[in-house]
Chains A and B, each alone.
Chain A
Amino acid sequence: MEREVLLDVKDLQVNFGQHKKKFEAVKKVNFKIYKGETFGLVGESGSGKTTIGRAIMRIVPSSGGEIIYKGEKINGKISGELDKKVIKEIQMIFQDPQASLNERAKVDYIISEGLMNINKGISAAERKKKVDQALLDVGLLPEFATRFPHEFSGGQRQRIGIARALIMNPEFIIADEPISALDVSVRAQVLNLLADMQKKRQITYLFIAHDLSVMRFITDRIAVIRKGEIVEMAETEELITHPVHPYTRALLSAIPMPDPKHEKEKKLLVYDPDMHDYSVNPPSWQEVRPEHYVLANEKEFKEYKKLYY
């Protein structure tokens, strides 16, 4: 079955600084996101996962490579028409609901700002209708529209952030750690809401997080990223049950599970990047199991292949 590719990231590079101070945050990253799926990017702080999300949103400029959305290149210089389309169709949900809402604007304005930017002539009545609907969609009440962000709890504020993205009727949402700033009980509510929206509207998600246990629950495929490079990519269950790259294995072993016996017996794997000897034989992208890719050189690839056979 051929699935429709919604977003194709080819050799994406993002550098910060110039000349001597140049820092490569993202090094030639490749991945495809299919329509209707939830794709997860997992990595530790400093791995470049947020930078990739921001490069797709065009918040940071890319330094090389291509980002292709529905067959059209959207990084670099693009036409005004495409620009408008991309703004409308790709939306973002941010990590910290305390910091990502304008403190001095009412909820009504926060949610409808994007709408007014795209459609300048929208009537007040229609706008209100859309805001009310967006609030209801995320489980808030329409009368909240006249309040300010500080009047809400963290979970409610994150819902406002989601309503702001949904009102644009996006096809693709980038969610950057949408639940890591929330309380345990509220996390479940927000995850359910995101999953529910996907079912109702066939939204495609790029989910950025550091927590593999959350990723397992919500994503279809996962890419593990380290120091600006994707080291392993596979379907979620495949990756979690059959990890091959030592970094992925270390990451998985570090997740604390709510089971004291398991925790007390478990052995922590530590990843040491020096274990790879790439001086003679540089690594490349290899398919180790069906639809399961890993960054490895020939020698490592042979070892990885043996792991589960």
Chain B
Amino acid sequence: MKIGRVIGRVVSTQKVESLEGVKLLLVQPLDENLQNVGDAIVAADTIQSNVGQLIYYETSKEASRVIETRMNPCDAAIMGIIDDMFVEEKK
């Protein structure tokens, strides 16, 4: 899992059947100090997260399993909303 921040909503009308009704959000990956890492990705959301929230997401096959349709083409999904986090200071 990786940390990310929801930076936008993705609206898509023409999409594959198994993604119908699935909320798609644009997520900016972050490191433990909340600095941007790499480019934003599109992730499926089943837990009603919103723009601005800090979340964690999972990639690969496990991501598609949050959607109830079997065998759907999804490679990133939001797994939870981060309320708080603690990071040990570097020595």
Please determine whether chains A and B interact with each other in the same assembly. no
Which residues of A pack against B, CB within 8 Å?
none
